[in-house]
Each structure stands twice: as structure tokens, then as C-alpha cells.
A and B are shown apart, each in its own frame.
Chain A
Amino acid sequence: MSRLTDANVVIAKEIISRYPRPKSALVPLLHLSQEQNGYITREAMVHLGELVGVTSAEVYGTASFYEMFRFEPVGKYLINMCGTMSCALMGAGELMHHAEHKLGVKAGGTTADGMFTLAHAECQAACTEAPTLQVNYRYRFRVTPADFDNLIDDLRAGKLADEIPPHGVLAKVRQRIPADKGVGAVAPEDVTEGPAWLDGKPAL
């Protein structure tokens, strides 16, 4: 069962309605699907194609461009180790060696118990706090080998469950546009005049 659930279809339709063209919702819907299943399945791409009116091949075409979408199951916790310049200057290479040793897998691998996938990552936008890593896109800063060990132990013991949701869940807060407050999206060809607040004047 990897089509969107009924509850998620409701969310999906709400997201689609925010865009002037349905296909614009594709990346957000792929995230929704990955949140539901942990990765992107074939059936999910067929379903998303139906929802936004494109073929499943087009869905795959878009999805395969972006690094966050996974087409095979990954560990419950995806650990992305930054290795770009600032982190490299501050010891990211050594930290990666340590991580591989601690988890018993090479970068790109998943532990036998399915808990952790270890991955190389590019700049995570936290360069002054190098070396950094993200667990399911939640930051850890200035990570030492001992910090890494503690992190893994805490994750295994379930101590960080509140902070770090399973892989696929990004933001835990979703935008909601109340029906009575939203303007609503209009297809560009249906817009014939300038915005009301310009009173017909040019906007300079």
C-alpha cells in the first residue's frame, strides 16, 4: 500500500489547490509520499501522476532530479555527514572515518538492523558550526567523535524520538490556508486585469 492514504489525499488536494498549475505541487507531494512510506515507490508515483495530471514517467523524471527522494528503503535515521569545504577544514573527513567504524558500514550503507543509513552530504548551510551532520535533516553542530557515539546511542535508545521523526518526515508543522482568508490560485490565462490595489495604474 503505497498510494497516498485517504487522509493524505485530502492534504494533497489542498496543496494542489494553492498553485495556478497542478504540476507545481509535485515536489511537495513527493515529500508527502515519502513521509508516508519512508521512500518513493512506483505505485506512489503512479498515484501522484493521477493527482496532478501527468504520467508516472514525468513524476519519476522530476523526482529523480532531487537528492532527498529515495527510491529504495533507507534506515529509520538517515545520517548526512557534511564534507564540503568548511566542514572539511574542520575535520569532517576524520569524523566520517569514525562514523563508518562506529556504525560498521561504509558511507552509503545501511546498518543490518535498518536503523541507520550513513551518507556523504554536501554543504548543509551551517558552515561556522563545522563539522556538521543532519539526522533526518535535524542539525548537530561541531560534532566530535564522542558526540557522534552519544548521538547514535541516544537514537538507538529512543531518547531523541520527540525531536527527530523517522526518515521522510520533514517539517512537523504544515501550512494551512483557511478557506475564508485565502485568495486562491488562479490559472494565469484566467487573469485579465491588474491587481485591485493598483487601481489600474502601472506599478512603475
Chain B
Amino acid sequence: MSSYPHAPGFVVGDRPKVVTSRFEYTDSFTIERYLATDGYKAIRKALSKPAADVHEEVKGATVLGRGGAGFPAGTKWGLTPQQVWPRYLVVNGDESEPGTYKDRLLMERDPHQLIEGCLIACYAAGLSQCFLYIRGEMALAQERVAAALNEAYAAGYVGKNILGSKFSVDIVLHWGAGAYVVGEETALIESLEGNRGMPRLKPPFFPAANGLYGQPTIVNNVETLANLPWLIRNGVEAYTAIGTKTSPGTRMVAVSGHVKRPGVYEIINGTTTFRDLLYGEEFCGGIRNGNKLKAFVPGGGSAPWFTPDQLDLPFEASQVGPAGSMLGSGAIMVMDETTDIPAAALTLTHFYAHESCGKCTPCREGGTWLERILTRVVNGTGTDADLQQLIEVGTSICPGDFPHASNEALGISAVPFPYKMTTICFVGPSAYAPIHSALTLFRSEFEARVTKRITIPVTAVGAAS
């Protein structure tokens, strides 16, 4: 087993570092290191201004949500109804999207940065208690954040009258217990209330208006909040100088699978292309063994797949969406020419079928159907009717055209993101996404697996008349 001196998986580079600046230190998670590297200066600066000004800065910087949906944090905070108290902050650290693991590193390697981000959000949006929800399986992240919170409380950065001001907030560490769907914000709130983590219907349960205990609640991703200390310290101009106008700053992206140098990279938002990331010498350095790229999942397991045709797209939602997929949670999974495409799709469909909470019928039943049918196709006992059946089941979860990428060789053009859905959350559609992509882009691989069968018209035998 390889052992890594610092953050396993993280690859340093000569690029702007907004959230990973301390990763190079072996003691990056301690309060001593944090204070020695501008730590808790941002909250000091924030406290010297009215809360509304801090909110205005976050809004002005267009800090896009890094959890998957990409909704700007400042705008999200502004959706809370006026003069309804209390309001809560729930930090979504239930990272479990296949391919993704930036939040875990941020919690393990720089927990104080996250804590400071939470403080800034609470101060700016008038949130009186913060719940930091960490995925159950991340024991080290839980330990590091617990230790950091204990240090921060002792030093007076969290709790009553922070730094002698009127600002008081508790940050409560909360552990999950293993359920992918809890990463969906309303399911996260259900789980935090001590219930089964099933998503709530929106409307009426938009968290900003009707969230935890029925109160206005902001749910933000770990990486989103980790951006705030740098932003407040350096100002809106410095932040928006990185990346593009619509996708400013940096973002963390995990590239896994068949590349020479898989890793988590902090890249410049909006301008870095998939080709840069997969082939660039400062990033993944190309496909393993000099193989050819076959396909890649651009934004976590839920995202429709891309092929080499889409390599020159940048990390910019306004371009990736029309091209038929999404940037999602910042995770790319790379498949080279040796990949068995139906089997690869099955691992993802299995994941989402397994993680269905069972609330919505199309997902509960459909996900399982998709998995069973695809399993027989992969095992070589499927029929050509099964391929049609996969599409029919998928269409019952997502009616209408499902997004996919264009492909020059196949002569197909893109169907833009997003899709329509008959379920409350994205787990159901996600079970179908890999199948739809694989069947659209690599249909011959499925056809080669299924046995051709002669159809016998049923009415010809034993008809009543």
C-alpha cells in the first residue's frame, strides 16, 4: 500500500490556491498552523463590518455552490424570509457522489478554514446555530474537525461573544451513518432531525424558507464555505480575478480511473478544459500506458458521459450544460480503450439502485429494474428486448429526451442538460444516466452481449376466437 506524506490524492501545482493553500504542511489541521497562515483574520475583518456588507461581498463574488447544483451561495442566503428567527446553517459534508472527494480532504487537512467559513456565513446571514454534518464513514475527518472545534472553542473563535463582539454561534459536529441520499439537502435536514434520511418535496420544503425544524435554513457544501475566508481576506476583486465572470475562483476536482496521475487538483474555474486536466503535464499527464481515451464522466457518477469529442470544453456550467452534461460535484472518472462499457455503467447503476431511499416509486422500482436488466445484459443472458426495456424504464424516471453528448462519428447532436424527472431527488435519474450515456454512445457493445431471439406473436397461439 502506498503511503503519502501529506494529503493522499492531492497534487500540488503552481496555480492559485484558494482552499488548498495549507495542504503542503504536515500540521495543516492544527490551530497553530492556521493562525500562522492568516487563520481567523477573515472573521476578524468581517466582524468589523455590518453583516449586510459581508453578505454583499459574498454575493458580489458569485461563489458558486460546489456541491453539485452550482447555485451561488450569496444569492441562496438572500432567499431566507425577512425577520423569521431563528435561522440555521447546515454544512453538507456528507460527500458520497461516486468519484468525488474534495470535501473529505478539506475537512481532514484544513478544518479551521471550514470553521471560519461557517462563522462568516452565520455572521453575514444572521444564522444562530450551525450544524456541521460529516459523512459517517469519514472517521479521520470527524476526528480532525472535532479536535479543531475544541481548539476553536477554547480560543474563543466559536461560541459566545466571538472575539469580544456581539456575534455568538455554536457549531455542532454531527455524524451521519451511511446513506448517499442524505447528501440531498432536504434529506440531510430530515436526517439531522433524527429521522430516516428521505428527501422532502419542494415546494413547500425549500430549506431557505422551511428547513430544519420548519425554520429558514441555509445548506452549504463544505468547499463552498471553505472559499469564504480567502474571499473576505482578499476581497471580491481578487476573487473574481481568478476564473471567468460566470465561474469565478477555483474549484477542486478529483480525477480518477485510467489516467497516469490520478489526483485531486485545485483548478482555475471556467477556463481549465477537460483536455488540460486529463492530458496536461501539471495535471494527470495523459491516459495510462499511452492508451486511448474512450469516455469520461465529467461531474460525478450522476453526470451523463463525455467522449474525446468534448475534451476542449472548459469547466464552465454554461458550456457543459448545453453540451449534454453537468459539472456536478467536481469529479471526473476516466475510462480508457480497455474498458468494458456495459460493466462500467452497471457499477454506477448498482450504486444508485442500492442507495435509493424508496420514497418515490419510479426510483425505488425503476432503479432495481435497471440494475437487474443491465446485470443480465452484462452477464450475456440478456436479449435485445432488454435494451429497449432499459430505455423504457429510464423514460418512466425521466420522461422526454434525456441529455447526452454529441458524437461526430455516430452523427448525433447533443441533448442539453437538465432532464425532466418523476422523482423528488436526483437519485432515480442518476441510476439511468450511465445507462443512457453508454447505450447512446456505445450501443454496439451492448448489442454484442445480447442474444438475438425470434419473436413469436402471442395471438397466434390459443387465441380465444
- The answer to whether A binds B is yes
| Chain A residues near B (Cβ < 8 Å) | 18-21, 23-28, 30-31, 52, 54, 61-62, 65-69, 80, 83-86, 88-90, 122-130, 134, 136-144, 147, 151, 170-178, 180-186, 188, 191-199, 201-204
Which among B122-130, B223-231, B233-241, B408-416 touches the partner chain? B122-130
Q: Does B195 contact A62, Cβ atoms closer than 8 Å?
A: yes
Q: Does B137 contact A134, Cβ atoms closer than 8 Å?
A: yes
Point out the residue from A52, A142, A180 that lies within 8 Å of B2, measured CB to CB.
A142
Residues in A whose Cβ lies below 8 Å from that of B291: none
Q: Does A138 contact B257, Cβ atoms closer than 8 Å?
A: no
Residues of B312-367 contacting chain A, CB below 8 A:
331, 333, 335, 339, 343-344, 347-348, 351, 354-355, 357
Residues in A whose Cβ lies below 8 Å from that of B82: 202
B417 interface residue (CB < 8 Å to A): no
Q: Does B146 contact A175, Cβ atoms closer than 8 Å?
A: yes
Residues in B whose Cβ lies below 8 Å from that of A25: 194
Q: Does B159 contact A181, Cβ atoms closer than 8 Å?
A: yes
Point out the residue from B101, B176, B192 that lies within 8 Å of A126, measured CB to CB.
B101
Which residue of chain A has its CB nearest to the CB of B47? A197
Point out the residue from A24, A128, A137, A184 that lies within 8 Å of B137, measured CB to CB.
A137
Q: Does B193 contact A86, Cβ atoms closer than 8 Å?
A: no
Q: Does A65 contact B197, Cβ atoms closer than 8 Å?
A: yes
- Beyond A83-B347, A85-B98, A85-B348, whether A126 also contacts B9 by CB under 8 A is yes
B139 interface residue (CB < 8 Å to A): yes
Q: Does B142 contact A170, Cβ atoms closer than 8 Å?
A: yes
What string of 1s and 0s marks CB contacts (under 8 Å) between B149-164 and chain A? 1100110101110000
Residues in B whose Cβ lies below 8 Å from that of A69: 177-178
| Distance between Cα atoms of A25 and B175 in the complex (Å) | 10
B35 interface residue (CB < 8 Å to A): no
Residues in B whose Cβ lies below 8 Å from that of A128: 9, 101, 254-256, 262-264
- Beyond A27-B176, A62-B194, whether A127 also contacts B98 by CB under 8 A is yes
- How far is the CB of A176 from the nearest CB of chain B, in Å? 6
A-B complex: 9 closest residue pairs judged by Cβ atoms: A66-B177, A203-B126, A67-B178, A23-B194, A26-B194, A171-B142, A127-B256, A125-B101, A128-B262
B100 interface residue (CB < 8 Å to A): yes
- How far is the CB of B339 from the nearest CB of chain A, in Å? 7
B96 interface residue (CB < 8 Å to A): yes
Q: Does B339 contact A89, Cβ atoms closer than 8 Å?
A: yes
Q: In the complex, how many residues of chain B place their beta carbon closer than 8 angstroms to a beta carbon of chain A? A: 99
| Distance between Cα atoms of A25 and B95 in the complex (Å) | 21
- How far is the CB of A85 from the nearest CB of chain B, in Å? 5
Point out the residue from B95, B123, B137, B172 that lies within 8 Å of A68, measured CB to CB.
B137
Which residue of chain A has its CB nearest to the CB of B95? A125
| Distance between Cα atoms of A123 and B178 in the complex (Å) | 11
- Total A-B pairs, Cβ < 8 A: 271
Residues in B whose Cβ lies below 8 Å from that of A194: 83, 85, 126
Q: Does A86 contact B98, Cβ atoms closer than 8 Å?
A: yes
Q: Does A173 contact B150, Cβ atoms closer than 8 Å?
A: yes
Which among B51-59, B268-276, B394-402, B423-431 touches the partner chain? B51-59
Residues in B whose Cβ lies below 8 Å from that of A130: 256-257, 262
Q: Does A197 contact B123, Cβ atoms closer than 8 Å?
A: yes
Residues of B194-208 contacting chain A, CB below 8 A:
194-198
| Chain B residues near A (Cβ < 8 Å) | 1-2, 4, 8-9, 50-52, 55-56, 77-78, 80, 82-83, 85-86, 95-101, 103-104, 123-129, 135-140, 142-143, 146-147, 149-150, 153-154, 156, 158-160, 165-170, 172-180, 191-198, 213-215, 254-258, 262-264, 297, 301, 331, 333, 335, 339, 343-344, 347-348, 351, 354-355, 357
Q: Does A24 contact B170, Cβ atoms closer than 8 Å?
A: no
| Distance between Cα atoms of A143 and B354 in the complex (Å) | 24
Residues in B whose Cβ lies below 8 Å from that of A20: 129, 213
Interface centre among B1, B176, B195, B339 (most CB of A within 10 A): B1
Point out the residue from A24, A80, A142, A175 that lies within 8 Å of B194, measured CB to CB.
A24
Q: Does A27 contact B194, Cβ atoms closer than 8 Å?
A: yes
- How far is the CB of A54 from the nearest CB of chain B, in Å? 8
Residues in B whose Cβ lies below 8 Å from that of A85: 98-99, 257, 297, 301, 333, 344, 347-348, 351
| Distance between Cα atoms of A184 and B169 in the complex (Å) | 9
| Distance between Cα atoms of A51 and B8 in the complex (Å) | 40
Point out the residue from A137, A175, A185 that lies within 8 Å of B150, measured CB to CB.
A175
| Distance between Cα atoms of A84 and B263 in the complex (Å) | 17
Point out the residue from A124, A141, A171 that lies within 8 Å of B146, measured CB to CB.
A171
Q: Does A123 contact B96, Cβ atoms closer than 8 Å?
A: yes
Point out the residue from B86, B165, B357 that lies within 8 Å of A186, measured CB to CB.
B86
- 14 A–B pairs (Cβ distance < 8 Å), ordered by A: A18-B172, A27-B177, A27-B194, A85-B99, A85-B347, A85-B348, A122-B354, A126-B104, A170-B142, A178-B159, A181-B153, A195-B126, A195-B167, A204-B125
| Distance between Cα atoms of A153 and B401 in the complex (Å) | 53
Which residue of chain B has its CB nearest to the CB of A124? B137
Which residue of chain A has its CB nearest to the CB of B128? A195
